[in-house]
Chains A and B, each alone.
Chain A
Amino acid sequence: MYGSGDSEVRALDGVDVSFEKGKFTAIMGPSGSGKSTLMHCIAGLDALTSGSVFIGDTDLSILNDKQLTELRREKIGFVFQAFNLIPTLNAYENITLPLTLGKKKGDSAWIDRVIDTISLRDRLDHRPSELSGGQQQRVAVARALASQPDIIFADEPTGNLDSKTGSEVLSFMKRAVTDLGQTIVMVTHDAVAASYADRIVFLADGRVAGEMFSPTAQKVLDYLKHLGE
C-alpha cells in the first residue's frame, strides 16, 4: 500500500504496508505522524493524490463514491474514538445499521454470536444516551463486526475510556480476531492498547519507521523512546 500527500504537506510519503488477514495490527506513531490519514486512506474515506490501496483484490483508487460507499458497507468495519453511534437508533439497530443500509438481513446466527460476545443482550433496546462509554464502544465494535467485513479499522477506540473499560473493549477486539477470525487494524498512541495487537507498525513523519511482532507494553514504550531519539 502506498500513498502520498500533496507537495506542500505530505501527510503520507511513500508508505508501503500490508495488513495480514486474521491478524490484529496496530499503527502507532506520535501526533502528526500520519497514522489517521493512513487509516482514512486505506478505509476509502479519504482520496489519494497518487498511489493505490487494495482490499483483497479490489483497487480502491479506481472506485467512485458509490462503489466506495458500498465497499465500506460490505467489506469494512469502523470503530471511532467517539460518536460511534446514531443517537436516534437503539443498540441493536446501531449494530445492524450497515446491513439495513445495504438492505441485507445478515447472518443472524453470527449477529447473535457477536451480541453474546459483547454481553449486552439485555441492553439491545437502549438508546446510546442510555449506555455507558464502554458499552457504547462495545456496541460500536459489534456494529463493525456485524457484516463480517474483510477488515475492521479502529481509530483510537479506547481514547475516551478509562483504563478498565478500555481493556474490556480491547480484549473483546482481540477475541474478535482470535475466536471469530476477523482482521482488525487499530490506530493508537497508547502503548498498552497497542500491546493487544499481533503486530505494530510505527509511523513517523508520514513514513514507516519500523514494526514489531508480539508486542508488550514495555517493549513498545522502549521502542517509542528509541524512536524519539
Chain B
Amino acid sequence: MFRLAAKMTLARTGRLILTSLAVILGTAFLSGTFVFRDTINQTFDRLFADVFRDVNAYVRSTTFLELNFGGEQRAATPIEVLDTVRGVKGVTSATGDIQAFARVIGKDGEPLGSEGNGPPTFGGIATSDSAGLWSITEGRLPIGPNEVVLDSATADNGEFVVGDNVRVVAVRGTREFTLVGVASYGDISSPGGATFALFDQPTASEFLLQPGFVDAILIEGDDSVSDEVLARRIDAALPADLKLETLTGAEITAEVQGQIKDVLNIFSTFLIVFSYIALGIGSFVIYNVFSITAAQRQRENALLRAIGASKRQVSRALLVESTAMGIVGSVIGFGIGILLSQLLNALLKATGFEVPTQGLAIAPGSFINTLLAGVLVTVFAAWFPARRAGRVPPLAALRDTALDTAGSISRRVVIGLILVVAGGVAMVAAMNDAPIQVLGLGVLGVFSGILVLGPAIARPVALFIGIPVAAMRGASGVMARQNAARNPKRTSRTAAPVLLGVALVTAFTALAASIRAEVRDTFGDAFSGDIALTVDSQGFGGIPLSLTDRIAQLDGVAQATGVGFTSVRLVDPSQATSSTPAGADQRGVFVQTINPATITGLFDLGVTEGDLTTLGSDGLFVNAGRAESKGWEVGTRLKVIRIDGVEVDAVVRGLMSGDTSFANYVASREMFADAPSPIFDAFVYIKVADDAVFDTVRDRIAAISSDAGIGTLQTKDEFIDDQAAQINQILALIYGLLGLSIIIAIVGIVITLLLSVFERRREIGLLRAVGMTKSQVRTTVRWESVITSLLGAVSGVVLGIVMGIVVVAALSDESDIAFRLPINETLWIVFISFVLGVVAAVYPAWRATKVNVVEAIAAV
C-alpha cells in the first residue's frame, strides 16, 4: 500500500506542488525568522567576542536596576578605582569605559540617528589602552575637553572629516568639539547602527556622566595567571564600601552577548509568534486542499475499496501522501526561508534599523523545528480528509461527480452555536471582571464556533453578497454567485483564512482607534499649554533640565514645565521580610519626574488626593488603582532605591487617577538632584503669555532647542495627535505581520480556484461550446473569487468588531475607553479584500480559459 500511495502521489506532481505551496509558504516564514534570529545572534556573538578579546577582567558596580523592558541600569564607578586596579599584580593596563547618552548633530542641524525608534545614540571613551573597545582607524585619539572621535559609520553618514567641528548633545548640554579621528568597534564601523561620540576619559566623565566617574573598568592582564585568578586578585583589592564586583573577560562577554540577545529575542519572538499564526492559518489552506482533492479522487478511492482495500489502507495512503508533502514542502520552505531572512534584513536596513549581519547562521535546530512544524501541521490538516476518504463507499466508483460529503448540517449548527454561545458567555464574563485569560478562551470559542458554523452560513451569505454581482455581470455574474454557493463547505474553508486574518486586523484596528480617541480626549483635557517640546529617546537621555529652565525664563513664555522618566526600585518596608535578602528583586519601576513648582495649571496629572506642591524631595504620588491593590494610602512610607544605590525614605503624599500620568508613580525632580547619573526631561510643556505673539515665542523656543539639537517642537494639537498616534507604530507592525497570514489566505483562494477550475473543466468546456467567451469565463472565475474573499472579509469584519467591543469593554475597567468603530479603516479592509479576490483569480481565470473545449466535452 505504501508503494501504491507513493506512486499515486508522484503521479500528480501538479497537485503535489499546489498542496505543498501552502506548506512551503507557512514554513518559509517560520524558518526565515529562525535564520534571521540566528544570524543576528551569531553576528553579535562574534562582534563582542572580538571587541572584548583583550579584556581579561571587568570591574563594575553591584548596584543596578533591571529595567521593565529588558536591559539594566547600573550605578557609576569612581575613577580612583583605576589606580587601585593598576596596582594589582598581573594587570598590564586598565581603562575606564562609559556608554551614555550623546547625540551628534549633523551639519544640517538635525541630530544624526533617527529620533524615535532607531538605534540608540551613545557617548564613550576612546583610549590608547589595549583594553579599550575602540580602535582608531583614521586621525588620532581625542585629548582634552574640545576633541571628539566618531565611529566611522556616523562620520560617513554625517559627512564629517577630521578637522571638522562637531556639535554633540549630552547630559551637560550642547558643546562643540573638533573631530580628530575616526574609530571602529571590532571590525565593524558601528554596532547595530548606533552612533558613537568618543572623548578622552576626563571629558567623557564630565560631559556624559559625572566628573570622576565611569560606568566600568576594562582590564588587560599580562597572561601570567588565568582570568579567574586575576579577577579574584582585583576583587580582593577593591574597597568593600564601594560595592564593586569583578568579572572575567569571558563572563562580561557572555553577559553582553546575552543582553543584546534578550533585546533582539523580544523582537524575533514576536516575529516567530506571527509566523506560527501564519502557519496555523496555512493549515486551513492545507486542510482545504486535502478535502477538495480527496473529494475529487473519490472515484479512485472507491475503486480501491471496490477491489479490496480496507478503509484504513485508503486513509493511510492519503496520510502517507500528506507526510511526503509535509516533508517536501518544509524542506523547500526552509530553503526559501533562508532567502526570506535576507529580505527581512534588507527591509530593516531600509527602515533605518540596521542590524549588522555577517554570513548566515543556519542552526540544525531551526531546520528540525521547521520540518517538525511543517510535517505536523500538514498531517494534522490531512487527518480528517483522510478519514473521510476511507469512508467512501465502494459504489461511489460508479458515480460521476466529485462530491464533497457534508456532515449533518443541523449537528454542525448545534455544535457551532454551542461554541459561539459558550465563547460569548466567557467574553461577557471577561467584561465583568473575570481574568483576561477567560477573554482569550472566549475569543477562541467564538472563532472555532464560527469555523464550525461556516459551511452552514457560507451559502446564504455568499448568495447575498453575490446579488449585486449577479445583477451587474449578467450570466457570468449569476454563475459566479452560484459557484461560490454551490459547495458551502469548500467556500467556507477557503474563506476561513481570510476571516481569521480580517477579524484580527479589524479587532486590532478598532482597539487602536478606541485607544487613540481616548488618549486624544484625556490629553486634550489635561494639557492646557500651547506648545510641547518632545524627545523620544527611549528612556536613554533626553532634554537636559537646564534647557527646560532656560525655556521657562524666555520672554513671552508664561509657564514651562518638564516631565521626565527614570527607573527606581521600590520597597514597601511593611512587606519586606527577613526571608527576602536585599537585592533579590532588582526589578525597577518607572517613575515620572516632574517639577511641582511649575506643573500646576499646565498639565493636569489627574490628582485625586493630595497636593503636588507637597512632593518635596521625598514625596511620591501613586496611581490610585495601584495604591489600592498594594494597600497604600496617603502617608504610607516606602523606600525608594535610586540607580546609584542611594536609598530615599519616601512618603506617599497623594493619589492620581492614572489616566494622564505616563507612569504609576510621580516624584519631584528634586528627589534625583544629587544623583551621579542625572535625569532628563522627555517633554517640556509650554504656555505662551497672553500678551506675547505666538509665532515669535515659538521661534525663540525653536532657537534654543535647535541650538541644543534636541527635541521636536509641537503645537498642542500636534502633540496630542502624536501621543494618540503612538499606538500606530505597534499597529503597523501587527498589520505587517498579519500581512503574512493574508498572503497565505490568498494563496489558499488561488489553490481552491485552480482545483475548482480543474474539477469543472467539463462545465467550462460546455459553456465555451454554447457561446461563453473567454472574457466571460474569466469574469465568472474572478467574481467567484471576489465573493469568496468578501465572504471571509465581511464575516471577519463582523467578528472583529464584536471582538473589539469585548476587548475594549474588558479594558475599560482600568481606564474608561469607549469603543469607536474605525469606519474608514473597516471600509478599507473590505475594499482590500475585494482587490485581493480579484488578484487571486488572475491565474486560475487564465487557466480556465485554457480549457480545451473538445477534450473537456469528450471526457466522460
Residues of A within 8 A of B715 (CB): none
Residues of A within 8 A of B401 (CB): 87
Residue B771, interface by CB 8 Å = yes
Contact B479 A45 (CB under 8 A): no
Contact A66 B773 (CB under 8 A): yes
Task: Return the contact of B766 from the options A65, A74, A80, A93 (Cβ within 8 A).
Answer: A80
Residue B770, interface by CB 8 Å = yes
> What's the nearest-Cβ distance from chain A to residue B84, in Å?
90
Task: Return the contact of B475 from the options A36, A45, A82, A97 (Cβ within 8 A).
Answer: A97
Whether A46 contacts B854 in the complex (CB less than 8 A), given A86-B479, A86-B763, A98-B771, comes out as yes
Report the bound CA distance from A86 to B860 in whole Å. Answer: 15
Residue A89, interface by CB 8 Å = yes
Chain B interface size, under 10 / 10 to 19 / 20 to 34 / 35 or more: 20 to 34
Which residue of B766, B767, B770 has the most chain A CB atoms within 10 A of its CB atom? Answer: B770
What residue in chain A is nearest B487 (Cβ atoms)?
A88
Of A20-28, A100-108, A173-181, the one with at least 4 CB within 8 A of chain B? A100-108
Contact A89 B482 (CB under 8 A): yes
Contact A69 B763 (CB under 8 A): no
Residues of B within 8 A of A155 (CB): 857
Residues of A within 8 A of B476 (CB): 101
Task: Return the contact of A87 from the options B486, B770, B854, B858 (Cβ within 8 A).
Answer: B486
Residue B832, interface by CB 8 Å = no
Report the bound CA distance from A89 to B775 in whole Å. Answer: 20
Query: Does more than half of chain B's interface fall in helix, strand or loop, or is it mixed?
Result: helix
CB under 8 Å from chain A, chain B span 387-427? 401
Residues of B within 8 A of A97 (CB): 475, 767, 770
Contact B771 A72 (CB under 8 A): yes
Contact B771 A102 (CB under 8 A): yes
Contact B857 A73 (CB under 8 A): no
CB under 8 Å from chain B, chain A span 63-83? 65-66, 69-70, 72-74, 77-78, 80-83
Residue B140, interface by CB 8 Å = no
> What's the nearest-Cβ distance from chain A to residue B485, in Å?
8
Report the bound CA distance from A70 to B771 in whole Å. Answer: 6
What residue in chain B is nearest A160 (Cβ atoms)?
B860
Contact A93 B858 (CB under 8 A): no
Residues of B within 8 A of A83 (CB): 762-763, 766, 857
What residue in chain B is nearest A88 (Cβ atoms)?
B482
Contact B774 A89 (CB under 8 A): no
Residues of A within 8 A of B479 (CB): 86, 88-89
Report the bound CA distance from A69 to B778 in whole Å. Answer: 14
> What's the nearest-Cβ distance from chain A to residue B299, in Å?
15
Residues of A within 8 A of B776 (CB): 101
Residues of A within 8 A of B774 (CB): 65-66, 69
What residue in chain B is nearest A71 (Cβ atoms)?
B771
Residues of A within 8 A of B853 (CB): 45
Residue A123, interface by CB 8 Å = no
Residue B483, interface by CB 8 Å = yes
Residue A84, interface by CB 8 Å = yes
Report the bound CA distance from A103 to B857 in whole Å. Answer: 24
Residues of B within 8 A of A80 (CB): 766, 769, 857
Whether A84 contacts B854 in the complex (CB less than 8 A), given A69-B772, A93-B478, A100-B475, comes out as no
Residues of B within 8 A of A102 (CB): 771
Residue A143, interface by CB 8 Å = yes
> What's the nearest-Cβ distance from chain B to residue A83, in Å?
5
> What's the nearest-Cβ distance from chain A to residue B399, in Å?
12
Residues of B within 8 A of A72 (CB): 769-771
Residue B768, interface by CB 8 Å = yes
Residues of A within 8 A of B860 (CB): 81-82
Contact B767 A86 (CB under 8 A): yes
Contact B854 A69 (CB under 8 A): no
Contact A98 B770 (CB under 8 A): yes
What residue in chain A is nearest B776 (Cβ atoms)?
A101
Residue B70, interface by CB 8 Å = no
> What's the nearest-Cβ distance from chain A to residue B613, in Å?
78
> What's the nearest-Cβ distance from chain A to residue B309, in Å?
28
Residue A40, interface by CB 8 Å = yes
Report the bound CA distance from A87 to B482 in whole Å. Answer: 10
CB under 8 Å from chain B, chain A span 82-131? 82-84, 86-89, 93, 97-98, 100-103
Task: Return the contact of A103 from the options B474, B486, B762, B775 (Cβ within 8 A).
Answer: B474
> What's the nearest-Cβ distance from chain A to residue B484, in Å?
10
Q: Mark A8-51, 1 if CB is under 8 A from B, else 0.
A: 00000000000000000000000000001000100101100000
Which residue of B476, B768, B854 has the most chain A CB atoms within 10 A of its CB atom? Answer: B854
| Count of A-B contacts judged by CB separation below 8 Å | 76
What residue in chain A is nearest B857 (Cβ atoms)?
A80
> What's the nearest-Cβ distance from chain A to residue B821, in Å?
36
Residues of A within 8 A of B854 (CB): 40, 45-46
Report the bound CA distance from A46 to B772 in whole Å. Answer: 16
Report the bound CA distance from A80 to B475 in whole Å. Answer: 21
Which residue of B482, B486, B774 has the most chain A CB atoms within 10 A of its CB atom? Answer: B482
Contact A73 B763 (CB under 8 A): no
> What's the nearest-Cβ distance from chain A to residue B46, in Å?
62
Residues of A within 8 A of B767 (CB): 86, 97, 101
Report the bound CA distance from A81 to B400 in whole Å. Answer: 14
What residue in chain A is nearest B768 (Cβ atoms)?
A69
Residues of A within 8 A of B483 (CB): 88
Residues of B within 8 A of A87 (CB): 401, 486, 763
Q: Mark B469-501, 1 if CB is under 8 A from A, else 0.
A: 000001110110011001000000000000000
Residues of B within 8 A of A40 (CB): 854
Residues of B within 8 A of A98 (CB): 770-771
Report the bound CA distance from A98 to B773 in whole Å. Answer: 11
Contact B478 A89 (CB under 8 A): yes
Contact B769 A101 (CB under 8 A): no
Whether A45 contacts B769 in the complex (CB less than 8 A), given A82-B860, A83-B857, comes out as yes
Contact A101 B772 (CB under 8 A): yes
Contact B771 A36 (CB under 8 A): no
Report the bound CA distance from A40 to B856 in whole Å. Answer: 12
Which residue of B476, B483, B768, B771 has the most chain A CB atoms within 10 A of its CB atom? Answer: B771
CB under 8 Å from chain A, chain B span 756-794? 762-763, 766-776
Residues of A within 8 A of B857 (CB): 45, 80, 83, 155
> What's the nearest-Cβ distance from chain A to residue B753, in Å?
16
> What's the nearest-Cβ distance from chain A to residue B659, in Å?
57
What residue in chain A is nearest B773 (Cβ atoms)?
A69
Report the bound CA distance from A5 to B476 in whole Å. Answer: 35
Report the bound CA distance from A57 to B853 in whole Å. Answer: 24
Residues of B within 8 A of A65 (CB): 774
Report the bound CA distance from A36 to B859 in whole Å. Answer: 13
> What's the nearest-Cβ distance from chain A to residue B789, in Å?
19
Report the bound CA distance from A153 to B775 in whole Å. Answer: 24
Residues of B within 8 A of A84 (CB): 766
> What's the nearest-Cβ distance from chain A to residue B770, in Å?
5
What residue in chain A is nearest B474 (Cβ atoms)?
A103
> What's the nearest-Cβ distance from chain A to residue B170, in Å?
74
> What's the nearest-Cβ distance from chain B to residue A27, in Å?
16
Report the bound CA distance from A74 to B474 in whole Å. Answer: 17
Report the bound CA distance from A103 to B477 in whole Å. Answer: 12
> What's the nearest-Cβ distance from chain A to residue B280, in Å?
33
Q: Mark B730-768, 1 if CB is under 8 A from A, else 0.
A: 000000000000000000000000000000001100111
- Jot down 13 A-B pairs with beta carbons below 8 A, ordered by A: A36-B858, A46-B854, A72-B770, A72-B771, A73-B770, A81-B860, A86-B763, A86-B766, A93-B478, A97-B767, A98-B770, A100-B474, A102-B771
Contact residues of B with A, CB < 8 Å?
Answer: 401, 474-476, 478-479, 482-483, 486, 762-763, 766-776, 853-854, 857-858, 860
The 5 closest A-B pairs by CB, nearest first: A73-B771, A88-B482, A100-B475, A69-B773, A101-B475
Given A86-B767, A87-B763, 14 further pairs, Cβ under 8 A: A45-B854, A66-B774, A66-B775, A69-B771, A69-B772, A73-B771, A73-B772, A74-B771, A80-B766, A80-B769, A86-B766, A87-B486, A98-B771, A101-B475
